[in-house]
Amino acid sequence: MVTGASRGIGAACSAALAGAGAQVIAVARTKSELQRLRDAHGDRIEIWPEDIHESPFRRRLEQLPRLDVLVNNAGTNTPQPFLEVEERVLDEMIALNVRAVFLTAQSAVRVMLRSGDGGSIINISSQMGHVGSPRRTAYCMTKHAIEGLTKAMGVELAPLGIRVNSVAPTFIETPMTVPMLEDEEFKEWVLERIPMGRVGRLEEVVAAVMFLASAEASLVTASSLKVDGGWTAW
């Protein structure tokens, strides 16, 4: 299962997992965008036009006969200076970036335990879960929460055969970041902080997800795989 699957990292992960032979459930609110994903990849992708904030989604998830991998990808960001962060924006980010991620993982674990074969949960975090940044206090707060959740889940669920990790990308070329990176001053600020001197590509994040989903990562849990070009090492 991949949440936030209609575009960007979620769509790319869905396509890669389907290409590797997985039966993928792609979840997002926009049915038309999910349908394009299914049209491109056929029966390997089942689409669920669902709002992951809501309990009907979680009830449907818990009815699955088995689930091996959850890519907990849905998230949002509205950059604002700390003193100008609106309550509405704060509530939206906490609701999607933290609450929905937590509850989706909770439902997924129930299915994994019922099947008895363990599983892998991959929370899509951010380099902002490891550092701070101006205009991103709320976002950093939510992603630090995801890093803490990943560690705690990883420790608690390890004896049950369920691995939990995060992938923490830097700025990646996605529909969400295009408007930001069109600002030349902002783009220069970003590139100055990435020792490798460039933003990331979708396939680089996908590669990290595929590794953590695979048996090759069988001893990796409660960890964060940073795909950040060195940003967080400063």
Residues assigned a catalytic role: 139, 143
Structure-token match 């990790």, residue found: 165
**Total number of residues shown for the chain:** 234
Q: What share of the chain is helix, strand, coil (3-state, %, to 5)?
A: 55, 15, 30
| Nearest by Cα to 106 from 50, 67, 144, 76 | 67
Residue 153 DSSP SS3: helix
| 199 vs 99: CA distance, rounded Å | 29
Q: In what order do the strands lie in the sheet with 2-3?
A: 45-49, 24-28, 2-3, 69-72, 119-124, 162-169, 224-227
Query: Whole-angstrom Cα distance, residue 224 to residue 97?
Result: 16
Q: Which residues touch 70 (CB under 8 Å, ≥6 apart)?
A: 1, 3, 104, 105, 108, 119, 120, 121, 122
